[in-house]
Structure 1
């Protein structure tokens, strides 16, 4: 994807806005203007979907009110966007890839938009698998006949990991918006393991469960003079000196020990006076991680087998021996799996799989 200098600036502004707060409505409002300049559209909406006996839909629409979405529950079964994006999570789809122009104009949603003087002519959307049974459907609308282009889709695709990260952070941390409330929220969760740090190494708070895990995971020789493990401070330092795209590839820190992965996820906290603090969220995950369904449907049968091997912590050599393949073939499959699932590394793959099975 080739970006102009202006597009780079706009993209950076969108990402900064998404990371500016742990209140999802505020993050969307802050991101709206640069996003709609980067990928021109008239409306933007995020539908938070909770699956269950009764499917719950909650729309967040920054900026101009979209009357059609106020009555979405009446038209949900006629929503031509829902089925295509659920079939291809994490993939940006334009309306031309969902249905024909004639089908769009004959749809109940389109007809209703005309009655409301909205005339939603074009749609571009992506499904964000946040947690098991919990999704975000991010959608851009145009009320004039100007189709979204491949470049528009590529730009939104480049932002998809950041949108997912923002929704996940806000969801996990209950949309609290200040450091004091965040500490209270985290502390009141049974068994919550977290550190609060002010870079480069000042510890602000350590939950009891975090203290237990750190004592189990590290020896005194592993610790910085501040009492925080050196390896975690080194990862924090690296995150501080990377841009937002690179940070996604470095988060979380994962280490295999015995029959469990030790996982530390780094979350930059907004709205603090002085240097922004970081929450280090800690957890242990069993080695045998099931392959989440939202990942499985993106892969071929052979890739599913190899993905499950990686989730068992098999090396490429182990996988090659198990399935009677060459190591080069396994490497090719692994690379294709990462591309299909939009993950950067084995560590990222393990974390995303664990996160979809059990939030960490």
Structure 2
């Protein structure tokens, strides 16, 4: 991913440091603080900020700023209706947008946001931002700022773009595992449902903690002959071993395991847990999802009619060819709908669509 950007050895090292920092904690402030220095050096900037947004029942937002505060963001509520960044990034989720693509320079300098930043003693001369769809009801937006008149280059945008999947993954993990006690590396009991459970596993694949229904699910999912001597079923142990041997970019496409059964789907999401030193443990989040899972209202509201119909059939495990035949459209049109669904819902693949749809239909 980074090779096409012709990064220097030092820049590659910085990128690796950013990715490592994004996976260093499940606390938003700690992740941002660890990420700040290498990110600001890799994509030269003066400051960085993360906006966390809830979209229901109304748009609500919270700014997190590591390092020195950004006065404008402390007064953001008073100028939010004039934020010229919001519309462009909402229109192009997961794409890095430069300020020159948001509006002409003359309009930029006459905007209320820019004028207010100068009044507060920190003129934000340039901005580069990306919207991070996490769930249909939860979004993140990362912004980098420069206080000097020096435009961001396409190379800077490409660097940030290469990090966007890791940013999405980090925000999702922090959000999904808020109950993690990072000091003791223990998950609290999340719920009493019999269709969901978790395991905490050491690198040797030894189970060190589990929720009350974990063994029930494992026994229902796997035959006795499927289990390794470590206590983990071989399919899960093999996936975990593979993930531990992958680089960070490769892991993003493989961190959800899905098995299709006659009565529904079985999914396991693998999350590497933070640790100050020594081998890092992993959380395996297990879910059973019915075959006839409906498309949640929150998801449907973000999609066009055709995209919603396509998503409905994806949840039934239909192929793109089957969907095209049912809807009377070409396969490449289905491919386009699927790409739009992924962008709008902040999902990486069909497994993630199942995972998020089940979560919204039956929230934890």
TM category, shorter: 0.7 to 0.9
**Residue 26 to residue 226, structure 1, CA distance change in 2 (3 Å):** same
CA distances 1:290-334 after superposition (whole Å, capped 9, x unpaired): 2786798688x7666544432221124423432456xxx526743
Matched, 1:186 2:188: yes
CA apart distance, 1:135: 1.5
After superposition, the C-alpha distances for 1:72-91 in whole angstroms (9 at most, x for unaligned) are: 11111111112222222222
Partner of residue 337, structure 1 = 338
- 8 Å CA contact 2:136–2:298 kept in 1: the answer is no
**Aligned CA distance change for structure 1 residues 150 and 49 (closer, same or farther; 3 Å):** same
Residue 130 of structure 1 is matched in structure 2 by: 134
**Correspondence for 1:151:** 155
Counterpart in 2 of 1:174?
Answer: 178
> 2:5 matched to which residue of 1?
2
1:163 is aligned to 2:167 = yes
2:40 corresponds to: 36
What SS does the aligned partner of 2:62 have? strand
For 1:296 and 1:249, the matched residues in 2 are separated by 26
The residue that corresponds to 1:239 in the other structure is 243
Q: Which moved more, 1:289-298 or 1:150-159?
A: 289-298
SS of the residue corresponding to residue 187 of structure 1 reads coil
**1:307 and 1:78 mapped to 2: Cα distance?**
34
Aligned to 2:140, what secondary structure does the other structure show?
A: strand
- Change in 2 beyond 3 A, CA 1:294/1:144: farther
2:223 equivalent among 207, 211, 219: 219
Q: CA deviation at 1:114?
A: 0.9
Q: CA deviation at 1:167?
A: 1.0
Q: Residue 290 in 1 paired to residue 277 in 2?
A: no
Q: 1:306 to 1:211 in 2, by over 3 A?
A: same
Q: Whole-Å Cα distance in 2 between the matches of residues 348 and 9 of structure 1?
A: 30
Matching residue of 2:30 = 26
Shift of residue 92 of structure 1?
A: 1.6
For residues 19-43 of structure 1, the C-alpha deviation after alignment (integer angstroms, 9 at most, x for no partner) is 0111111111111111111111111
Q: Distance in 2 between matches of 1:80 and 1:358?
A: 36
Return the offset for 1:281: 0.7
Is the contact made by 2:306 and 2:337 (CA closer than 8 Å) also made in structure 1?
no
Q: Distance in 1 between matches of 2:28 and 2:225?
A: 41
Tell me what 2:91 maps to: 87
Please tell me the root mean square deviation across aligned C-alpha atoms, in Å: 2.7
Looking at structure 2, the residues matched to 211 and 267 of structure 1 have their Cα atoms a distance apart, in angstroms, of: 19
Deviation at 1:252, TM superposition (A): 0.6
Answer yes or no: is 1:115 the counterpart of 2:116.
no
How far off is 1:286 after superposition? 2.8
The superposition leaves residues 86-117 of structure 1 with CA deviations (integer Å, 9 ceiling, x where unpaired) of 22222221112222212211111110111122
Residue 141 (structure 2) pairs with residue 140 (structure 1) = no
Per the alignment, residue 205 of structure 1 pairs with 209
Aligned residue pairs, count: 354
Structure 1 spans left out of the alignment, 5+ residues:
none
> 1:291·1:311 contact (CA, 8 Å) conserved in 2?
no
Q: 1:256 aligns with which of 256, 260, 280?
A: 260
Q: State the shift of 1:52 in Å.
A: 3.5
TM-score, length-scaled by structure 1: 0.88
